[in-house]
Amino acid sequence: MNSAATIDTLAQRFGLDPLTSKVLVVGLGNTGLSVARYLKKLGYTFAVTDSRDKPTLMDAFFQTMPDTPLFIGGFDEAAFKVATHLVVSPGLALSEKSIVKALASGAKLLSDIDLLACSVTAPIIAITGSNGKSTVTTMLGEMAKACGKKVAVGGNLGTPALDLLASNVQLYVLELSSFQLERTFALNAAAATVLNLSADHLDRHADMAGYAHEKQTIFNGDGVQVINADDPAVAAMARPDRQCLRFSIKTTADFYLAKQGETEYLMHAAQPLMPLAKLPLEGRHNAANALAALALGSAVGLDTATMCQALQTFKGLAHRMQKVGQIRGIHWVNDSKATNIGACVAALQGYDRKVILLAGGDAKGQDMTELLPVVKEKAKGVVLMGKDAHLIKQALQDCVPIYAANTMAQAVQLAASVAEAGDSVLLSPACASLDQYKSYQDRGEQFAQAVFALLP
C-alpha cells in the first residue's frame, strides 16, 4: 500500500489527518521509537512523552528527529491535553491517570499494530497465547521461508511491527501480547490463534476473564481461526460464522497426534505428515506448537510437505526448553522464558520421568497452588529462589522435597547434589525474573554459566 492510500485508510478508520491531528506517542521504548519513525515518514504532527528522566532510546530519537517535541521526567499534562490521538506503548498500563483523562476528553487510542494493519495489503498471521507464542511465531517464519515466501516476523517478539514494513513482504507473522491486543482495533488477520490461556499478567489485567477477553480480540475480523481444542477457554472462542481449524494432542482434530502401529505422527485429517520423533524439540507441548504452526500455515496456503521439512530442522528458541548440556549423566535444561505457571506446567508435563525443578522469582500475583498437582506428579524435588519463593513453598505443601537457594549458582549446586545420573534438572521458574535479574535472558545465561561451572 502506498503512502497516500495508507493516509486515506487511517483517516477513514481513526480520523487521523496529517493537517489537523496531533498524535502523542506515549513511551519511548522500541515500539515508541518505531511509531515515531513511521509518523515522521508519513508527515503527521506528533510529540513523544516518557515518564523516565532519560529513556534509553532518547539519543537515537534525537539523531533522527531532533526537532520533534519530547517530554520526559513524568507525563506532561499539556501534551496530553492537546493530543487528538494516543499511541501508548504496550509496557504502559492504560489505567495511567494521564491516559485515562485524555481518552475521557475525546482523544482516540490506537496502536502500532493498527498502523501496520492500515499500511499493508499482504496477509498477516497473528499469534497470541500465554505460552508458546514465540516458538510458534519463529517456527512459522521458518516454514514460510522454506516455502519461498518473503516473510517478516516480529511484533512482541524481536523487531517492532512497524519496523517490518517493506513493499516486497509477502507475509507478516506477528506475535502479539495481551497488552498489544487491548489497544488494537483495526487488525484483521488472515489467520490467527490463541494458543492457550493460563494465569499471567494479572498485575495488569483485573482477572482471568479480562485477560481472556483481550486475547480473543485477535480473532476480530473475518480470517481463519486456529483453535486449541485441548484448552476449554480457547475452544469457547470459536465463532460459528468463521472458518476454524482445530489442533489437538489429545483427540482427533484438523491437525493432531495419532499412532499408526508403534509410531506417533503429526496428522492432518487422516493423513500422516511426519513422525513426532523427527520434531527436534523436547516436550509434548512442542508437538502442540508444531500442530498450531501447521494449521496457521495451511490457512494461508503454505505447502504442508515443505512446512514439515522446516519443522525437522527447527532448533527452537534460546531460553525455551533449551538443552544446556549433560554433566556426569545429568541433563540440564534452560526454560527461563517460562515466566508464568502455565509455561512451567507445560514444560513439566512434557517429561515422561520425574525431574528436579528450579523455580521462583516474581509471581506477578499468580495463584501458585496451581503448580501443586503437576509438581507432585512430575518433580523429584524443587529448588526455590527469588522474591516469592516462600509463596511457592507454601503452595506446594511439601509434596516433594523442597530446597532454598539465594543465588542461581547456589540453586545449581543444590540441584547437582540431589540429582543422579539419568535425571533432568529443569530451570522453569513460573515467575518473572526482574526481582533478581535484568531479564529472563540474563537469568537463563546465569543458569548456563552455573551449570558449566560444574565441569571439572
Q: Within a 10 A sphere around the Cβ of 19, how many other Cβ atoms?
A: 7
**What is the predicted pLDDT for the residue at 206?**
52
| Residue 201 bears catalytic tag | yes
* Cα 217 to Cα 331: distance, rounded to the nearest angstrom: 40
Per-residue pLDDT of the chain (456 residues; tens, 9 = 90+): 789 999 999 999 999 999 999 999 999 999 999 999 999 999 999 999 999 999 989 999 999 999 999 999 999 899 999 999 999 999 899 999 999 999 999 999 999 999 999 999 999 999 999 888 999 999 999 999 999 999 999 999 889 999 999 999 999 999 999 899 999 999 999 999 999 987 554 444 455 677 788 899 999 999 999 999 999 999 999 999 999 999 999 999 999 999 999 999 999 999 999 999 999 887 788 999 999 999 999 999 999 999 999 999 998 888 988 889 899 999 999 999 999 998 899 899 888 789 999 999 999 999 999 999 999 999 999 999 999 999 999 999 999 999 999 999 999 999 999 999 999 999 999 999 999 999 999 999 999 999 999 998
User: What is the CATH code for 322-452?
Assistant: 3.90.190.20
Q: Residues 133, 149, 319, 364: which is the catalytic one?
A: 133
| H, E, C per residue of 123-142 | CEEEEECCCCHHHHHHHHHH
Longest dimension (CA), the chain: 70
Q: Where are the domains of the chain?
A: 3-110, 115-311, 322-452
| H, E, C per residue of 11-40 | HHHHCCCCCCCEEEEECCCHHHHHHHHHHH
Residue 240 grid coordinates: 460459528
Q: Residues 30, 131, 156, 196: which is the catalytic one?
A: 156
Please, what sign has the CA dihedral across residues 121, 178, 227, 241? Answer: negative
| Residue 2 bears catalytic tag | no
Classify domain 115-311 at the CATH superfamily level: Mur-like, catalytic domain (3.40.1190.10)
**What is the predicted pLDDT for the residue at 207?**
59
- Whole-model pTM: value is 0.84
**What is the predicted pLDDT for the residue at 202?**
47
Q: Residues 85, 201, 337, 378: which is the catalytic one?
A: 201
**What is the predicted pLDDT for the residue at 205?**
44
* Cα 358 to Cα 430: distance, rounded to the nearest angstrom: 9
Class of domain 3-110 as given by CATH: alpha beta
Residue 249 grid coordinates: 494432542
| Residue 289 bears catalytic tag | no
**What is the predicted pLDDT for the residue at 199?**
56
Residue type, 419: A
Please report how the helices 133-146 and 284-299 are oriented relative to each other, as an axis angle in degrees rounded to 10.
50
